[in-house]
Amino acid sequence: MTVEDKQAEATAPQTHPVVLPRISTDPLDMLVDRMRPALARAVEALQVAAALEADGVTDRIARVEYGFPDVFALAAEVFRRLGPPADDPPAPVATGHGRRQTIRLLLHGPLYALPSAVFPAVLAVLGQRHAVLVLTVAGVAGWAYAGTVAFAAYKLLGANRPHRAARLLRFSVLAAPLLGALAGAGIGRWGLVLLAAGQLSYQLAGTVLMFYRRELWQAIVMAPAVVAGVAYLLDERARDAALIAAGAGVLVAFAAALRCTVGKGAAGERPARLPRRALGGVTAYGLLSALLLLHAALPYLSDRLDIAVAVAPLILSMGFVEWRAERFRAQAVGLTRRSRRPADFEIGLARAIGLEILLCLAVPAVLGVALVAVLRTTDPAVMVMVAAHVLLAGAYYVAFLLAGFERFGRLCASLIAALAVHLGAVALLGRAVTPLIDTVLFAGSVLGLLALFLLGLAPSVRQVRHYR
């Protein structure tokens, strides 16, 4: 080496070894990196499978490009390579329930029960036996009819068919008096026909007003009837005023419901196919639910009203039960964001459902204690009947969740089983059945119903894919 070479080496810039990042040529690693932002908080492989399918990955692509038999096998490996969920704090979950929305839902149960304030005056005019029969038949039919119509209307609204939903509701309301009159005509005289027509008309009108969030209208138009009904209990001379106020309230609610269906959507909407199987399930569920409630109270309507009225805490708390059920999805979505593993999600979900059931039991329990205090009774049959309807509130909370997953077959089968247990036990015991034994049997059947509902809910509710 010459002197010039040494000088050139001394003046040359220093060099340092550069370590290049390792670039993976595995297409699966590239897929994982591409999907990571969307799946940072995935807690099970089914979430990954849904995201891959939404991204256009088919079974053929999984086989040809990645060497897996189908998308689900590919999703399992992607989920494994993603590692644990990200530790960033969960985003706030919008519940969609402001104060007004909460009040609306809480009012649903009491609003349906408003006409009952006038029933004593109605029974005094039409006779207790026939009037109770008409109210029972119209109540069962109206429950199923209103539930089916509301389900179909919500399906149409969800399919962006507001005009068709409004038209369905309008024709259903117009048909309600006719259907009620037909039910009443098969039982007795014209007064019973009017009673059945009014009962069914009010149920459908209330359904439409609730559909369009006009509960305040419903409360205002029925307030005079409630006041007059209470006045009749204090002074029998107010009987005619109570009947007139009730009739006027039903007519105004009927007209208001029709008004709500006018001017909704465009007339040129394309037809939408309704799920007939689900509609049949909703109808059957409504009929069976009404039968479950009414068959227990029916034997006591003539001479043991203290037992029959035990259903009141449940009716008054149904709005609260509906409100808690409406909040469930937001709670479940929040759990998916906080859970690191599928087991964490399932445990958190079970705790949440258990807490909600306890809340749905607590409200009617408080109302039941108040009812017993008002009745000033220590009869154990009354207390057991109240307890049975408290349990039924918890069962209806789970039923709302099952209906959200459209598991109407499970709902109907469970209701049939509960009815069969109660009626079968009463038939086997025969004349030995006292009110206390009957109410205990009914409470036992309701407890079994709650267990059946929970068993039916378990397979669907813990699948994370429902909350994406």
Q: How do residues 387-408 score in pLDDT, each as one tens digit? A: 999 999 999 999 999 988 888 9
> Which alpha helices (DSSP H) does 55-118 contain, by range?
59-66, 71-82, 99-113
pLDDT band at 453 (very low <50, low <70, confident <90, very high): very high
pLDDT of residue 86: 53
pLDDT at 445: 95
Structural tokens at position 305: 């009203």
Higher-confidence residue of 164 and 61: namely 164
Residue 448 pLDDT greater than 90, yes or no:
yes
Q: Can you tell me the mean pLDDT for 312-327?
A: 88
Please write the tens of the pLDDT for every residue from 274-290. 888 888 889 999 899 98
Least confident of 106-110, 252-256, 370-374, 456-460: 106-110
| pLDDT at position 334 | 82
**Residues 303-316, mean pLDDT to the nearest whole number:** 85
Degrees, nearest 5: CA angle 365-366-367: 90
Single-letter amino acid, residue 95: T
Q: Name which residue leads in pLDDT, 428 or 110.
A: 428
How does DSSP assign 129-168, residue by residue?
HHHHHHHHHHHHHHHHHHHHHHHHHHHHHHTT-HHHHHHH
Rounded to an integer, the average pLDDT of 426-454 is: 91
Instruction: Specify the pLDDT at position 284.
Output: 92
- For residue 35, what pLDDT is reported? 79
Range with lowest mean pLDDT among 2-11, 48-57, 247-256: 2-11
102-108 average pLDDT score: 77
Cα within 13 Å of Cα(18), Cβ side: 4
DSSP string spanning 31-55? Answer: HHHHHGGGGTT--SHHHHHHHHHHT
pLDDT confidence of residue 389: 94
pLDDT of residue 421: 93
pLDDT averaged over every residue in the chain: 83
Break the chain into its structural domains and give their ranges.
Answer: 26-85, 106-274, 275-468
Mean pLDDT (whole number) for 263-271: 80
Residues of the chain with pLDDT > 70: what percent? 89
Q: In which band, very low, low, confident or very high, does the pLDDT at 13 lie, cut at 50, 70 and 90?
A: very low
Tell me the whole-structure pTM to 2 decimals.
Answer: 0.72
Question: What is the average per-residue pLDDT within 179-195?
Answer: 82
pLDDT of residue 84: 64
- Rounded Cα distance between 464 and 468, Å, is 7
